[in-house]
Structure 1
Amino acid sequence: MFNTISNQASKLINLTRRNKQLSKTKLITITSGKGGVGKSTFTGNIAYLLSSRGFKVAVIDADIGLANMQVLFDIKPKFTLFDYIEGKITIEEALLQTSYKNLFLVAGKSGYQYANHSNSFVFARIVEDVINLNEFDIVLIDTGAGLNEYVKEFLAISNNILAITTTDPSALTDLYALMKMLSKDKEELMLCFNHTRNHQIGDTISNSLINLAKKNRLNDNFMVKYIGNVSTSANISTTGRLRKLFSHEFKNDDSTRQLQAIIDTLLKNIK
């Protein structure tokens, strides 16, 4: 199925790649196999920390029908990506300035009926249009959970894919399904563990997943790169309920320092 989607998207992907050569913008897709692993919170805080380093960052809320990035950024969006897709606004109007310097959001819309856009790659085209502006250093796509057609659409157009998971067995099972799918068409997957006590736990589990992939003879050229972990912190849930970013409110928290280390590694690996 992913191969089918990739074939459908080939013209769009090739066009996006050509435009990237003319654009400074780096595209990173953040995903997870299972819901509830903290992916959106991770994305919002990574975006803020990147912007605080001087990068101009855009976040695209690609959790189709279940958008929540505007909650994290405490924005009541006047427009969403669906307004742009339907031709009601320009791409510039779709990019909403957050309260954080250098950080913009293309908001999604919860409960949106999107059946009319099925398998048409209209969602992926908004990514290309943001990149073509050549205004942003980094564009982050926050996908939905699982491996539905819309998630696959955003994965197909990105060479920088970062998966967020936990040590929960069901989350690891879904992560391995993601690895199997991506290994057919992609060169690598970056991996972060959320809610883990220390870096070593994520490293050990990552190695186990890599060994399992070798045992099951996944693509030998496909690489899984473990780039860090974020430990559990009460500050994360507290600031989330207050519609604030914990990395902004608690700059010296262990979780914030761990995110900074992840960014250091991420910036070295993105293409």
Structure 2
Amino acid sequence: MLDVKLSQAEKLINLTSKANDNLTISKTKLLTITSGKGGVGKSTFTANFAYILSQKGLKVLVLDADIGLANMQVLFDVKPVVTLFDYINGHKKLKEVIVETKYQNLSLIAGKSGYQYGSNSNSFIFSRLVEDILELNYYDILIVDTGAGLNDYVKEFLKVSTNILAITSTDPSALTDVYSLIKMLAIDKKSLMLCFNHTKNDLIGETISNSLVNLAKKNRLKSEFVIKYIGSVPSSENITRAARARKIFVNEFRQEEAAHKLQNIVDSVLKNI
């Protein structure tokens, strides 16, 4: 089953190569944050990650690309009346679907929960959306928060990004899924940044990352492909508490260890992109 999925992924990569070649040269750095499995805290991580970047004086735009299960507007405590689909469907101009959050330098293009997008998944509509945002040449960083898993929507966003950050946990099923992600990306990508969530210490994340690297070598994945471990975020009840209150954890609990770890991860990512 996994080989079939990887074959399908390779076909999609070939189909989207032309679209990728046309991506605009822009000052805007593109970072795609993804996970092989749901429930690892990816969207909460993304919201806090984006906030930290904005506090460094960088203009940040978050694209909620979790098709059908969007929740970034909840984490940023905004109530958008327009979504990315209003632009895709031609009802609004791009700038009209960009929503300002209450945090300085931080904007959002919201998704839409429960939305069933019926267009052909090979139409490159989402990669064209990314290209249109880059053409604005306004933001310093565009963060694409993908859905969980490896459906065609996620693959399309991954295809057009050279900077990919995977969030996972030490749960065995999460590690299995993130390794499937690694196998897919190794086909035509140069590297993957890897971050662990809900870990007890950095050593655990580093050890598992090394194990994934060794497994990749054992299975003879492309030798040029690099897995970069960039840090771990410890568990904290306040992370969940802040998310439920529609607040940003690193803003509310700045002195917590998890907040400091997130700051370090942001610094590591900036060095890599």
Q: Secondary structure at the match of 1:129?
A: helix
1:219 to 214, 218, 222: 222
Match of 1:15 in 2: 22
2:265 to 245, 262, 266: 262
Matched, 1:138 2:141: yes
Q: Supply the distance in 1 between the matched residues of 2:92 and 2:15 (Cα, whole angstroms).
A: 27
Normalized against structure 1, the TM-score is what?
A: 0.97
After superposing the two structures, state which structure 1 stretch, 136-145 or 118-127, moved more: 118-127
Matched, 1:65 2:68: yes
Q: Supply the distance in 1 between the matched residues of 2:50 and 2:120 (Cα, whole angstroms).
A: 28
**1:186-230 C-alpha deviation (Å, 9 max, x unpaired):** 000000000001111100000001001101111101000000000
Q: Supply the distance in 1 between the matched residues of 2:17 and 2:222 (Cα, whole angstroms).
A: 21
Matched, 1:182 2:185: yes
In structure 2, give the amino acid aligned to 1:42: F
**1:149-192 C-alpha deviation (Å, 9 max, x unpaired):** 10000000001000000000000000110001110110000000
1:4 to 11, 15, 24: 11
Match of 1:237 in 2: 240
Matches within 5 A, 1:67-216: 67-216=70-219
Number of matched residues?
266
Q: Supply the distance in 2 between the matched residues of 1:11 and 1:248 (Cα, whole angstroms).
A: 41
Q: Supply the distance in 2 between the matched residues of 1:57 and 1:12 (Cα, whole angstroms).
A: 24
**1:64-116 C-alpha deviation (Å, 9 max, x unpaired):** 01101011011111110000001111111111100100000000001112122
**1:113-140 C-alpha deviation (Å, 9 max, x unpaired):** 2122432111221111111101000000
Deviation at 1:11, TM superposition (A): 2.1
Q: Supply the distance in 2 between the matched residues of 1:123 and 1:135 (Cα, whole angstroms).
A: 19
Unaligned runs of at least 5 residues, structure 2: 1-7
After superposing the two structures, state which structure 1 stretch, 114-123 or 70-79, moved more: 114-123
Q: Supply the distance in 1 between the matched residues of 2:227 and 2:105 (Cα, whole angstroms).
A: 31
Identity %: 62
Q: Supply the distance in 2 between the matched residues of 1:63 and 1:125 (Cα, whole angstroms).
A: 16
Matched, 1:248 2:255: no
After superposing the two structures, state which structure 1 stretch, 121-130 or 30-39, moved more: 121-130
Q: Supply the distance in 2 between the matched residues of 1:92 and 1:185 (Cα, whole angstroms).
A: 32
Q: Secondary structure at the match of 1:120?
A: coil
CA RMSD of aligned residues (A): 0.8
Q: Secondary structure at the match of 1:224?
A: strand
Q: Secondary structure at the match of 2:142?
A: strand
Q: Supply the distance in 2 between the matched residues of 1:5 and 1:140 (Cα, whole angstroms).
A: 22
Normalized against structure 2, the TM-score is what?
A: 0.96
In structure 2, give the amino acid aligned to 1:155: L
Q: Supply the distance in 1 between the matched residues of 2:16 and 2:220 (Cα, whole angstroms).
A: 27
